[in-house]
Amino acid sequence: MAGKMTPMTRRVFCSPEQRIIIGMLIWLGLLALGSAFIAAPFRSETSASGNILYAHIMYLHGLLIGLVGLLSLITIEIFGSHHHGIAYRLVLWGTLGATVLSGVGGILDRSITDTVPLWMQIVSFFCLDEILISLSLTLFVRAAELRTTVTWLAAFSALSMLFAAIMGHIAGWILEFGDWPKALIGGYATLAGLTWQQWMANLITSHSHDMVVGVLALLVALTVAIFGPQRAHHPLTRLGLWWTTAGIVATTLVYLVAGFSIAQPPTLFAHGVNGLAGDDLVTGVGVMLGGLVTLVGLALERVPGRALAWYGVALTSMIFITVVVTGYYIEFHETLYGAGSAHAPAALNDAVFTWWHQDFAFFLLPAVLGVLLAMKCLNAPARECRIASISLALGSFVAFLGGMDYIFFHPALYGSAFTIVAIGLFFVVLGLAAAIWALAKTALRPAQEAVPQQATG
């Protein structure tokens, strides 16, 4: 005779997607450690010109593409888009291809004549396109379903990154092949009132700026959405989400126009060589300040685990101060800093800022927030998560203080500021190792899930 339904337990491990996220964090962590050998803090600041090296750029592409792929997977997890089957699998497998190929290609791609690693990265760029197309379509469908501002912000951020990627493809083609085919490259440049060299330069600038700002806007959306796509009760959160959404739409339009035409953002409040670039106003006030307002509002809401929101406020504040406050100050004092002129009184300080705001504010801080989101998304153990979060936040703050010291007070290449930054990065590395350990425990430690079981009498 059949008896009562009695519960039993079974061992449930992380999903394959979660294991992939953990594996990607390990891979990107190793790449980040490797970057110390090509871009140690301020190692490149040997002149005011801040010359860009091809090998460094391609290596960092491997890191940034991996970061975008990681955020894409977290986006799918957070917004619950699994039911959009094909698009979800495209994002998953595209992320794997893009991350591995761009990383390995970046390690080996030392010059434009290195054919095999170059094509590895080219294929990874196409994988990135596929990710961003699938992610954009999925998010716009999801936004129509949920009708929440945070989902629209995520959708427009993904679309902005897609446009940035396309501009990067065209710029890379011109860099590799020049004015060929002439009817297409030179023809369009002439139609737009440019030389093909000017068109390439415009595309490179628009590509790099738009991609970074798109990543920042997506991070803001993910930080809000990880508490639930419906979470936006505080007035500052609602205001900030609309503000940032309008900012990323305006940013995308500005860089599309600047990338494909002779029209460029005007210099505002100009006096002499001083003045504020129009696109910097749109990105700084529209996206970075809007994102900061959003996260402050989120941190003020009474939500479980809102420490993540406060970490987001801290990291976004450092981005805002480094890029916007410091950048605007330098732009309004170009007579002193020289805008790349080696003869300016503070030319070396300007060179330090150029590299620091890129490496720290546009690479390191977004990556740290991405790691915090991954731990939250995958429910890492509370104790290990807290240790990793504190180490990451502390290291970022110490490095931030060292960067400000280096830019304004001690620009000597291996002086006191370098030491402060190195100490900060040491704690960041420890925090990353702790985060990977916490996520590995999540993947390897089985959970107990109650399953009804028919008992026999």
What is the per-residue pLDDT across 373-384, written as a single tens digit (0 to 9) for each?
999 988 888 899
Q: Measure the CA angle with vertex 368, ends 362 and 369; round to 5°.
A: 90
Is the confidence at residue 12, as pLDDT, over 80? no
193: which residues sit within 8 A by CB, 6+ positions away?
261, 262
Rounded to an integer, the average pLDDT of 90-102 is 91
Is 208 contained in some domain?
Answer: no
Cα–Cα distance between 141 and 151 in angstroms, integer? 10
Which percentage of the chain shows pLDDT scores above 70? 88
Is the confidence at residue 25, as pLDDT, over 90? no
Instruction: Summarize pLDDT for 212-222 with one digit per residue, the tens.
Output: 999 999 999 99
Q: Which of 280, 289, 309, 210 is nearest to 243 (CA)?
A: 289
Do 34 and 81 meet the contact criterion of CB atoms below 8 Å apart?
A: no
Cα–Cα distance between 440 and 161 in angstroms, integer? 30
How confident is the model at residue 176, as a pLDDT?
Answer: 85
Is 43 contained in some domain?
Answer: yes
Residue 267 vs residue 273, higher pLDDT: 267
Give 46's pLDDT tier (boundaries 50, 70, 90): very low
How confident is the model at residue 185, as a pLDDT?
Answer: 96
Is the confidence at residue 354, as pLDDT, over 80? yes
H or E element that contains 268: strand 267-271
How confident is the model at residue 445, as a pLDDT?
Answer: 58
Residue type, 74: I
Query: Does residue 367 sit in helix, strand or coil?
Result: helix
Cα–Cα distance between 336 and 70 in angstroms, integer? 40
How confident is the model at residue 37, as a pLDDT?
Answer: 74
Give 120's pLDDT tier (boundaries 50, 70, 90): very high
Beta bridge partners of 447: 12
Mean confidence (pLDDT) of the chain: 86
Is 173 contained in some domain?
Answer: no
Lowest mean pLDDT among 102-106, 325-329, 399-403: 102-106
Of these ranges, 7-21, 53-67, 112-126, 432-446, the one predicted with the greatest mean pLDDT is: 112-126
Helix axes 307-319, 365-377, angle to 10 degrees: 170
How confident is the model at residue 82, as a pLDDT?
Answer: 56
- Domain count for the chain, please give it: 1
Do 451 and 9 meet the contact criterion of CB atoms below 8 Å apart?
A: yes
Q: What is the DSSP letter of 266?
A: P
Altogether, the residues listed in the chain come to a count of 457
Rounded to an integer, the average pLDDT of 130-152 is 93
Residue 457 vs residue 14, higher pLDDT: 14
Is the confidence at residue 450, as pLDDT, over 80? no
CB atoms closer than 10 angstroms to residue 417: 25
Six token digits for residue 235 = 């007035």
Is 77 contained in some domain?
Answer: yes
- Exposed, middle or buried: residue 310 (CB in 10 Å: 0-12, 13-18, 19+)? middle
Cα–Cα distance between 164 and 18 in angstroms, integer? 28
Query: Does residue 302 sit in helix, strand or coil?
Result: coil
Range of the domain at 128: 15-147
Is the confidence at residue 404, as pLDDT, over 70? yes
Is 340 contained in some domain?
Answer: no
Give 391's pLDDT tier (boundaries 50, 70, 90): very high
Do 373 and 392 meet the contact criterion of CB atoms below 8 Å apart?
A: no
Is 352 contained in some domain?
Answer: no
Give 263's pLDDT tier (boundaries 50, 70, 90): very high
Is the confidence at residue 43, as pLDDT, over 70? no
Is 30 contained in some domain?
Answer: yes
Is 439 contained in some domain?
Answer: no
How confident is the model at residue 10, as a pLDDT?
Answer: 37
Cα–Cα distance between 279 and 144 in angstroms, integer? 30
Q: What is the DSSP letter of 145?
A: H
pTM of the model: 0.91
